[in-house]
Amino acid sequence: MEQNKLYDRILGSLLTAGVGDALGAPSEAFSPAEIKAQFGRITKFEDPSTNCISPDNKIGEVTDDSSQMYEMARAVVRSGGDFTAQDAADALIYWAQHYPKYYPRNAGPTTQHVIKALLAGEDPTTVGQTGKMYGRGTSNGAVMRVAAAGLIHPGDYEGAIQTAVAMSAPSHGTQHAYSGAAAIACAIAEALTPHSSVWSILRAGLYGAQQGEEIGRRTARIAAGIPVYPKVVKAIEIALRCRDMQEAETELECTIGADDISVQGTTALALGLFAAADGDSMKTILSGANIGGDTDTIACVAGMIAGAYNGTGAIDGQLLAQFEQANTSFDFRGVAQGLCDIACRQQCAN
């Protein structure tokens, strides 16, 4: 892909994820009925001050989701693409120390414990494999921050999987997390290719889910729970038979579930909403904000894929301007350029 187009797709992924995150922040943890009662339907940035999870957020401001995605992407740029589990651990520690609005308040059940262990000097290659606690290593933190793993590897599934695993290992060292992270990374990697389609992106996601599961079963902790792959298949099946986005939201929420913050559910919902929207960026992230449960994360992860497929031009211009005004501390354009430079070097090397 020509470099300017690649840059626009990479920036599109980061910005669409961020806009999705900010759209979903006011409705996080709400049921679909509660969203309808308070907002009717979310079609723009709403005031998050009535949400106890993000009461001090400005309208249009990101949450822990895309702030972690951003810091992980910055770490990938610093690594020059040779990203390791230590780099991921350093990025998590930096995030915890520099985002007091989100840490520890919004850190998930895995990340909160892991950051304490990393600060105590534990080995980042093994600390993420600690179990014996519900949700530890299987929550959706592994996918909320994974965008850069796909963005530096256009069309290179194996490279995307390798980086996604390194990114997940310090916090989410389980077969489910590796599967979910690899699924989203591969979907993004495919979305960046010149002739990608909605179907080729979904196939790439399924491939990543399979390969991540296999790597996790060989090298990580085997956690309890349904694998990612069948949940993604079910989500795609639901998307294909629904007549519109609101029907898809209802069916996906009732069948897959949006309230459990599991990596399996979030991965499946992100790919399912992307499929139901036929790849449309705004339809994808608005449905993520309206589906209920962990709305900010679902919209953020789904936005990574849709944005990589469509670029920046598919984001509503008014929302994008408002988003950038609310998030001036984030240099998404600079990070996107750094990721693009790495991606171009990777393509030349291959």
The three state secondary structure string of 97-118 is HHCCCCCCCCCCCCHHHHHHHH
Q: Is 156 annotated as a binding residue?
A: no
Q: How far is the C-alpha of 41 from the C-alpha of 27, rounded, in Å? A: 10
Cα 55-63-231 angle, rounded to 5 deg: 115
Burial 20-40 (b: 16+ CB within 10 A, else e): bbbbbbbbbebebeebeeebe
Residue 64 among known ligand-binding residues: yes
How many contiguous H segments (helices) and E segments (strands) does the chain have?
A: 17, 0
Please check if 63 is assigned to a binding site: yes
CB 305 within 8 A of CB 201: yes
90 is in an annotated binding site: no
255 marked among binding-site residues: no
> By the 8 A CB rule, do 182 and 161 touch?
yes
- Which residues are within 8 A (CB) of 167 and not within 5 positions of it... i.e. 6 or more apart? 72, 83, 88, 142, 145, 146, 148, 149, 181
- Cα 91–135–107 angle (5° rounding)? 40
Dihedrals phi, psi of 345, to nearest 5 degrees: -65, -40
259 is in an annotated binding site: no
Q: Which residues pair with 139 in a beta bridge?
A: 262
Contacts of 181 (CB under 8 A, 6+ apart): 142, 143, 146, 149, 164, 165, 167, 168, 172, 212, 263
Place of tokens 């390791």: 84
Q: Which residues does the annotation place in the binding site?
A: 63-65, 294, 296-297
Q: Which residues does the annotation place in the binding site for Mg(2+)?
A: 63-65, 294, 296-297
